[in-house]
Amino acid sequence: MRIHSLPTQLVNQIAAGEVVERPASVVKELVENCFDAGAGQIVIDIEQGGARLIKIRDDGCGIDKEDLPLALSRHATSKIATLKDLEQVASMGFRGEALASTSSVARLTLISRVPDAECAWRVNADGSEQNFDPQPDPHPKGTTVEVRDLFYNTPARRKFLKAEKTEFTHIETLIKRMALSRFDIGFTLTHNQKEVLKLRPALTSDEQAQRVAGICGSAFIDSSVSIGFAASGLQLSGWVGLPTFSRSQQDMQFFYVNGRLIRDKLVAHAVKQAFQDVLFHGRHPVFVLYLTLDPTLVDVNAHPAKLEVRFREGRLVHDFLFSALHRSLAEVRPGQVQHLDIQQPAVMPEHSAAAQRPASLYEPSYQARPVQQTILPLRVEEDIQAYASLYPKTASVQYATPPNQHLEDQPLGNAIAHLHNIFILAETKTGIILVDAHAAHERVTYERLKQQHQQGKVPSQPLLLPIKIRVSAQEADLAEQEHEFFNELGFELNRTGPETLVLRSIPVLLADHDTETLIRDVLADILEHGSSQRIQDRANEILATVACHGAVRANRRLTIDEMNALLRDMEQTDRAGQCNHGRPTWVALSTQELDKFFLRGQ
C-alpha cells in the first residue's frame, strides 16, 4: 500500500488512546486547565460515572472568541511558545492536545467568556478540527466544558469501562487528590445530580489542615508530623504520618511536585528508605508532601498524561527527600510539639557512604546463605560480643532520676510500677504512660549500636580463600570507582580483569551472609539509583538482633531507678516511639480519657 496521511479525526483518536484512558483521565485534564485559568471555584458534574456526562465549570480567565477554534485543535496552547518555555513549564497543562483528543472520542461543547466580553461563546467539536461556528451564550465569566457520551464512536474502548460506581470512585479519588494540591480553590463534585463533595477554599494553615483531615481522616492529622525543610533550592512541606499510623496499602500517599500530582520511583524509594527502620513489616507510610523546586530541574514532559516526571538532579532530590523525612521522624520526641521546621545550609552536606547510601527500590528475595569459602576464625565472636558489650542488658540503668524532678521536664513522666514484669507505668503532668520495657530498651540499644558502628572503623575479616566474582565490564568499572565506598564498609574488593573482581575481606558482621550475591546486588543498586545501602541494611539487621537479645527481657523485675533511667534514655533517643520491628513502644492516656472511663464530670 502507498503511504498516505491519516484523517485528522483518526489522528486525534490515536492520541486519545494515550491521554483518555477512562472518564477520570478527562476530568484530570480539564481540572488542570481550570487551575491554569486561575479559577477560584471549580464545579464538576458527573453522570453515570462519566460515561454519559462530564461537565466542568470554572470562574477563571476564560478564552477569547477568536481562540476557541484553536483551543480545540492539536498542538495549540497558550502555555508555551518556545523550547525554552517547555524546559521550564510551570503550568499544569501544556501539550495542547487534551481537548482535541477528547473531542475525537466524545461529543464536546466548549463555552467560555473573558471578563470584558459582552457575552460568552459556544462551540461544538467532533475531533475533525473544522467547521467551528461560535454561537453566543449567556454563560458567566469563566469556562464550561461538557463531554457527553464518552467513547460513543469507539465502542471497543467503551467496553473496557468498568461499572458506573467504579468509574465514579476513580473520579472522586482524583478530585480529592487534586484538591490537596490547590488549597486556594473551592471544589464541588456531584454525581447524578447528588452532591458528593464540597470543599471551600482553605487559606489559613488551620483550614488547610482541616481539608487534609476531611480527605485523609482526622486521625492522620492527629498522628502526623508537619514538615518544613529547605536545602539546595529544594523545599519540602506537608504532613507525614508517624510510623505507628500506617496502612496495609499504598492508598494514602500523595506527592506533589510544583503542585503537580505525580507517581515516581525515585520518590517512592526515598520515602521507603526513610521509613525502613521504623515501619512494621508489610505496612506502608501515609503522607501528603509538596516538593517545590526550579521548573528547569524537573522534566514534566516524560509521560503523556503527565503522571510521571524526570528529575535532572535525581541523586540530589533523593538525598534531600531521604534526609528531610529521616530527620523529621528521628527528631520527634515524647511531649514535643509535632512540627519540625528545619532550614538546612544552602548546600547539601555530603552524606557518609556508610550511613546514607539509599537502598534498592525493590528489595530482592535475598536469602542469606553461608559463604562458600572458609572463614578464618579471627576475632569473629569477639567482635560480635564487642558490639553487644557496648550496651549490656541494663546499661541504661546506671543512674537514678531524682524523685523531685518536675514532671513538665519529663515527657514520659516518673515511673510508678512495673506491671506484670513487662510494662512500665509512669505518671505524667497530663496523665499516664504505659511503656513496653523490652521494646523500648531494644530501640535505645539499637540506636546506640548503630551510632557506634557508624562512628568506628568497621571490623573486617580476611577470607582464607579469596572469592572471584565474574561481572560485566560496566559493573567492574563501577566497583573500581567505588573502591573507597566498599573499603569504608569493611570489604576489600579489587578489580583483577576486565570483567573480574576479587573479594579478599568482608565485614565481620556479614560473615554468615552470601557476600557474593550481596556485592552483585549493591552494584546493581548503584547502577540503577546511583547508590546503595544494602550493606548497611544487612549490618543493621545483625545489630538489631544483638539489640533484641541485649534488651531487658520480660519477667525481669525492674527497680524504680532502672525504669526512670530507661524513660530518660527514650526521651533522648531517635525513633524511640517504635521498636526495631515497627511496633509502638509506649502509649499515653490523658486525665480526660481516664475521667471518661469512670464517668467523672458526667
453 pLDDT tier (thresholds 50, 70, 90): low
Measured CA to CA, the distance from residue 492 to residue 484 in angstroms comes to: 9
Q: Which domains are seen in the chain, by residue range?
A: 8-199 (3.30.565.10), 205-350 (3.30.230.10), 392-453+549-597 (3.30.1540.20)
269 pLDDT higher than 60: yes
Q: What is the mean pLDDT of the chain?
A: 80
101 pLDDT tier (thresholds 50, 70, 90): confident
DSSP 8-state code for residue 247: B
Question: Judging by DSSP bridges, how do beta strands 224-231 and 234-241 pair with one another?
Answer: antiparallel
What's the confidence (pLDDT) of residue 95? 63
457 pLDDT tier (thresholds 50, 70, 90): low
> Does residue 255 or residue 275 have the better pLDDT?
255
> Does residue 294 or residue 85 have the better pLDDT?
294
CA 73 to mean position of chain CA atoms: 37
396 pLDDT higher than 70: no
400 pLDDT higher than 70: no
Most confident listed range (4-8, 23-27, 428-432): 23-27
Please check whether residue 384 is in contact with residue 546, taking contact to mean a CB–CB distance below 8 angstroms: yes
- Distances in Å between the Cα of 76 and the Cα atoms of 63, 67, 100 are 13, 10, 9
- Cross-strand partners of 235: 230, 292
Q: Taking the chain, what is the end-to-end CA distance rounded to the nearest angstrom? A: 87
- Distances in Å between the Cα of 525 and the Cα atoms of 356, 534, 538 are 14, 8, 14
CA 211 to mean position of chain CA atoms: 19
> Does residue 558 or residue 82 have the better pLDDT?
558
What's the confidence (pLDDT) of residue 314? 87
346 pLDDT tier (thresholds 50, 70, 90): very low
* Closest listed residue to residue 127, CA positions, set 14, 32, 48: 14
545 pLDDT tier (thresholds 50, 70, 90): low
User: Length of the chain in residues, anyone?
Assistant: 602
Measured CA to CA, the distance from residue 345 to residue 231 in angstroms comes to: 6
- Of the ranges 71-80, 285-294, 312-321, which one carries the lowest mean pLDDT score? 71-80
The set of residues, in sequence order, having a beta carbon less than 8 Å from that of 298 and lying 6+ positions away, is 257, 258, 309, 310, 311, 312
581 pLDDT higher than 80: no
What's the confidence (pLDDT) of residue 27? 95
What's the confidence (pLDDT) of residue 30? 94
Measured CA to CA, the distance from residue 482 to residue 496 in angstroms comes to: 15
> Does residue 413 or residue 90 have the better pLDDT?
413
The set of residues, in sequence order, having a beta carbon less than 8 Å from that of 461 and lying 6+ positions away, is 375, 376, 378, 379, 380, 490, 505, 506, 507, 508, 511
354 pLDDT higher than 50: no
557 pLDDT tier (thresholds 50, 70, 90): confident
586 pLDDT higher than 70: yes
> Does residue 331 or residue 270 have the better pLDDT?
270
Quote the percentage of the chain above a pLDDT of 70: 78
